[in-house]
Structure 1
Amino acid sequence: MSERHIARALARRIEVLDSSVDDAERGSAAQFIYLGRQPILDRDGALNAYELLFRTGAHNYAEVSDDAQATAQVVAHTLGGIGVPAVLGPLRGFVNIDRALLFNDIVHLMPPERFVLEILETVRFDAQLTRRLGELRRAGFQVALDDVGELSDELIDVLPYTDIVKIDFLQTPRAALAELAATLRGHGKTLVAEKVETREDFALARELGFDLFQGYFFARPQVLAAPHSRSVRPGLLRLLALLSRDAGIVELEAELKLNPSVVVQLLRLVNSSAFGLGRNIASLREAIIATGTRQIARWAQLLLYADSGDLPWRADPLVQLAGTRSRFMELAASWLRPSDNDFADAAFMTGIFSLVHVVLGSKPRVVLEKLGLAPHIREAIVSGSGELGTLLRLAEVAGEGGDAASIAAAPDAPAGFAALTPDVLSELNLSAAAWFGAHVEEAAV
């Protein structure tokens, strides 16, 4: 079967569900993926954007146990599961995002002209985060603050790093609205009145100069649904293994043909406005060339995280440990060789695959040989050899709170590893923990 036929066979009609779903429909929820979207209107009442919302079923409310996993699924479902054209049309999508994913390469899967990063109110701002927001804004993203309800010194301090402020009309005292809105307008921010539930609230928001409006007064969220594919984790692992050893297009194409659901999502991704190609791509080979292997790797990592099995992302100790370990190794590799992206990518892949044998219930050498992993990565995991093997030992010891610096400073350590001092390793550990949204100690439990 050709790539075109695979895509046609698996592409299904998107279903829009309202909140009145009978029990039989609820019982079939496991067969679908779900995504909520709520309109955001301009001052003339025209559609301006959607907020994209995590949904686990046709019922129109969120059941979020893990912010990072929820966002990963929203992005995966929008870009691949359902598709940007069906979800957003020509409009932008606001996506709730926590601190962990702000530091994750996954964010770059979202085309910045189509997605607004809506920072959750629970996110703590510090110098590291403001630097990251600067990077993302320079890449073209707009940043929105969610659920603002009062003026504070903290709010004023973070305004230079944001573009849009969403003011919660249910929580903000009416007497404070005028000053809050005037102050934010004075800083040049786009104002969104959210949770607007009455005509009086809408009139007040317009009078106070709000630019955009969202709430039950205009529309409740819709729930979009599309057929749920089976778990693609084994295929994703094989795909990542190929990417780790710079496999050619022929090998990538052959592997992807064995995973039709991944093919469909890849074609949706590359045919979306993320790439601005101005033409549809139906050929799998064209899709690989147009997307690029680095972007495919990002996509595969996103799907691997979103497809977390029976446990929430942060509750799955293997996913936690592999994710934090891989990021630590990538950061350490970049510290050792700042200009060697290939070395950093190989270090990340080594961390990702260092626990795959546990996921698949087999022995490391057997699993990694079957996956056809790059030899230097395979041997780093199986026998601890080479620079990657030393980085893996560092990550393992650091993850357990041990003395990783002694490994880096040992006489038999590779050249240059002594630069990984205790202070540096501590900083890398904290950065890896922030990237994955959990402390190393929690990930190792």
Structure 2
Amino acid sequence: MSDPFQNDEAGRPQTFAQAGEEDEAISSAQFVYVGRQPILDRDGALHAYELLFRGSAQNYAQVSDDAQATAQVVVRTIGGIGVPSVLGTHRGYVNIGRDLLFDDIVHLMEPERFVLEILETVQFDERLIARIADLRRAGFRVALDDVCELSPNLLTALPYADIVKVDFLQTDRTQLPALAKTLAGYGKTLIAEKVETREDFALARDLGFDLFQGYFFARPQVLSARRTRSSRTSLLRLLALLARDAGIVELEDELKRNPNVVMQLLRLVNSSAFGLGRNIASLREAIIATGTRQIARWAQLLLYAGGGDLPWRSDPLVQLAGTRARFMELAARWIRPNDEAFADAAFLTGVFSLVHVLVDSTPDATLDPLDLSPMIRDAIVERAGQMGALLSIAEAAGEAQDAAAVASAQSLKEFGALTPIVLAELNLSAAAWFGAHLGD
């Protein structure tokens, strides 16, 4: 009989099951994975894929943070495996929550290739409706996921969606005909999802559904590619260059120091998202073709998807940086309502004011290599100038100290406008903005 134990490198006994788990962990560290499940038309032909997060070659997902999972799916599809390999000539449906809907990162996905599948937990309000209208004008199609009843939220959302996915496992069968008829009356494309039996498929066809998805047709397939890693400090340097409108030569020099980002950038620009009709081979061509705004979005997405010990939305450092940045932007607009550049610089100062904590260093050691504008760098390192004063006020507000006293102590009259009542409102608005940005 074979021995159920083997020894690890340190000579400790190890079961075959444990060895298998370690092999899987090593594989997961070396490769990236994306799941895709076919969406078929009424004739059984492939129409599209739903793209799914997978953390390993095992065909299931363990998602602790929806935003991070979506970011990883997009990163891996565009930059890791490649759109042609994942989607072929078809569209990809991507689950997306409220936070990423409001982020410029969504524009990394080409509207002609990706459908935004809004999670069932997202509540529709005026702000979200306006954002979705903008995205649809940009060419995106919007799908509503996991519909199982005519809820008030669904009725609010229907005018702003193109596609509705009805969950055949969760929907009361006696209610299916009325639900399908009502949704069809709104002129929406109907997808029957989680179709698991021939009887379900026949029922969905009879009820007029246009597209079909589920285990009856195919389980998700897991695609993989060797993992590439991007240095967080390199990404921060890149974002700093973009923030100060650096030239192509500087961007090219920085990107050359991070070949993994270069590889993913070339995949991005060579994807159909840019419709160039030719492949870009040089780094300089890629920068020109992509544009600095898209490169900035890509760098942000890599940071989102980088993953840490905590989910992005649960990381207190991320929350502190985001709230502080928004508070500084609002305060800057309050004292200088017509100076957009000052407000933008204030937001960036808030973002970079905690970067040294991310990389476990000091502010000057972290920021000096980034070559930020002197106003931002000196505000963070030395609390110098108006921006430094604004940062001190923001820190006091964030630590529940007397921010009004800090403001009144400044020599410039502008800061007198930051009264206790105003500061309290700005602090509340900043917290509310960040909460809305994270989603429901």
Q: Which residue of 2 aligns with 1:349?
A: 348
Describe the shift of the 1:53–1:344 C-alpha distance in structure 2 as closer, same or farther (beyond 3 A). Answer: farther
- Partner amino acid, structure 2, of 1:317: P
CA distance in 1, matches of 2:277, 2:148: 42
Deviation at 1:280, TM superposition (A): 1.0
Q: Kindly indicate whether residue 174 of structure 2 is the aligned counterpart of residue 195 of structure 1.
A: no
Structure 2: gaps (5+ residues): 1-19
Q: Which residue of 1 aligns with 2:152?
A: 153
Given that 1:68 and 1:437 are in contact with CA atoms closer than 8 Å, whether structure 2 keeps it comes out as: no
Q: Which residue of 2 aligns with 1:372?
A: 371
SS state at 2:273 partner: coil
CA distance in 2, matches of 1:86, 1:409: 60
Given that 2:324 and 2:430 are in contact with CA atoms closer than 8 Å, whether structure 1 keeps it comes out as: no
* Aligned pairs for 1:52-91 within 5 A: 52-91=51-90
Rg bigger for which structure?
Answer: 2
Deviates more, 1:168-177 or 1:341-350: 341-350
RMSD: 2.6
Q: Which residue of 1 aligns with 2:260?
A: 261
Given that 1:320 and 1:436 are in contact with CA atoms closer than 8 Å, whether structure 2 keeps it comes out as: no
Describe the shift of the 1:26–1:384 C-alpha distance in structure 2 as closer, same or farther (beyond 3 A). Answer: closer
Describe the shift of the 1:272–1:392 C-alpha distance in structure 2 as closer, same or farther (beyond 3 A). Answer: farther
Given that 1:94 and 1:116 are in contact with CA atoms closer than 8 Å, whether structure 2 keeps it comes out as: yes
Describe the shift of the 1:73–1:398 C-alpha distance in structure 2 as closer, same or farther (beyond 3 A). Answer: farther
Deviation at 1:262, TM superposition (A): 0.4
Describe the shift of the 1:169–1:414 C-alpha distance in structure 2 as closer, same or farther (beyond 3 A). Answer: farther
Deviation at 1:57, TM superposition (A): 0.6
**How many residues get paired?**
417
CA distance in 1, matches of 2:143, 2:417: 42
- Partner amino acid, structure 1, of 2:148: G
Deviation at 1:312, TM superposition (A): 2.2
- Partner amino acid, structure 1, of 2:433: S
Deviates more, 1:244-253 or 1:391-400: 391-400
Deviation at 1:335, TM superposition (A): 7.2
Q: Which residue of 2 aligns with 1:103?
A: 102
Describe the shift of the 1:411–1:397 C-alpha distance in structure 2 as closer, same or farther (beyond 3 A). Answer: closer
SS state at 1:35 partner: strand
Describe the shift of the 1:412–1:93 C-alpha distance in structure 2 as closer, same or farther (beyond 3 A). Answer: farther
Q: Which residue of 1 aligns with 2:218?
A: 219
CA distance in 1, matches of 2:397, 2:180: 47
Q: Which residue of 1 aligns with 2:47?
A: 48
TM-score, length basis structure 1 = 0.86
Deviation at 1:330, TM superposition (A): 4.9
Given that 2:37 and 2:219 are in contact with CA atoms closer than 8 Å, whether structure 1 keeps it comes out as: yes
Deviates more, 1:322-331 or 1:196-205: 322-331
Given that 1:327 and 1:435 are in contact with CA atoms closer than 8 Å, whether structure 2 keeps it comes out as: no
Q: Which residue of 1 aligns with 2:117?
A: 118
Describe the shift of the 1:116–1:316 C-alpha distance in structure 2 as closer, same or farther (beyond 3 A). Answer: same
Q: Which residue of 1 aligns with 2:4?
A: none
* Aligned pairs for 1:280-291 within 5 A: 280-291=279-290
1:72-97 deviations in Å (ceiling 9; x for gaps): 11111112122211111221111111
- Partner amino acid, structure 2, of 1:204: L
Q: Which residue of 2 aligns with 1:36?
A: 35
- Partner amino acid, structure 1, of 2:39: I
CA distance in 2, matches of 1:301, 1:370: 19
CA distance in 2, matches of 1:192, 1:284: 42
Structure 1: gaps (5+ residues): 1-21, 439-445
Deviation at 1:415, TM superposition (A): 4.3
Select the structure with the greater relative contact order (CA < 8 A; seq sep ≥ 6): 1
Deviation at 1:354, TM superposition (A): 1.2
1:251-301 deviations in Å (ceiling 9; x for gaps): 111111110100011111111122222211111001111111121111111
TM-score, length basis structure 2 = 0.87
Given that 1:328 and 1:432 are in contact with CA atoms closer than 8 Å, whether structure 2 keeps it comes out as: no
Given that 2:363 and 2:381 are in contact with CA atoms closer than 8 Å, whether structure 1 keeps it comes out as: yes
Deviation at 1:324, TM superposition (A): 3.9
CA distance in 2, matches of 1:268, 1:417: 51
Given that 2:124 and 2:156 are in contact with CA atoms closer than 8 Å, whether structure 1 keeps it comes out as: no
Describe the shift of the 1:340–1:206 C-alpha distance in structure 2 as closer, same or farther (beyond 3 A). Answer: farther
Q: Kindly indicate whether residue 395 of structure 2 is the aligned counterpart of residue 396 of structure 1.
A: yes
Q: Which residue of 1 aligns with 2:431?
A: 429
SS state at 1:289 partner: helix
SS state at 1:28 partner: helix
Deviates more, 1:102-111 or 1:278-287: 102-111
Q: Which residue of 1 aligns with 2:358?
A: 359
Deviation at 1:39, TM superposition (A): 0.9
1:32-79 deviations in Å (ceiling 9; x for gaps): 111111111111111111111111111111100111111111111112
Deviates more, 1:33-42 or 1:149-158: 149-158
SS state at 1:76 partner: helix
Q: Which residue of 2 aligns with 1:322?
A: 321
Given that 1:232 and 1:307 are in contact with CA atoms closer than 8 Å, whether structure 2 keeps it comes out as: no
SS state at 2:274 partner: coil
Q: Which residue of 1 aligns with 2:179?
A: 180
Describe the shift of the 1:131–1:219 C-alpha distance in structure 2 as closer, same or farther (beyond 3 A). Answer: same
Q: Which residue of 2 aligns with 1:170?
A: 169
CA distance in 2, matches of 1:419, 1:227: 52
Q: Which residue of 2 aligns with 1:18?
A: none
Given that 1:398 and 1:429 are in contact with CA atoms closer than 8 Å, whether structure 2 keeps it comes out as: no
Q: Which residue of 1 aligns with 2:296?
A: 297
Q: Kindly indicate whether residue 143 of structure 2 is the aligned counterpart of residue 141 of structure 1.
A: no
Deviation at 1:369, TM superposition (A): 0.8
Deviates more, 1:276-285 or 1:391-400: 391-400
CA distance in 2, matches of 1:124, 1:47: 31
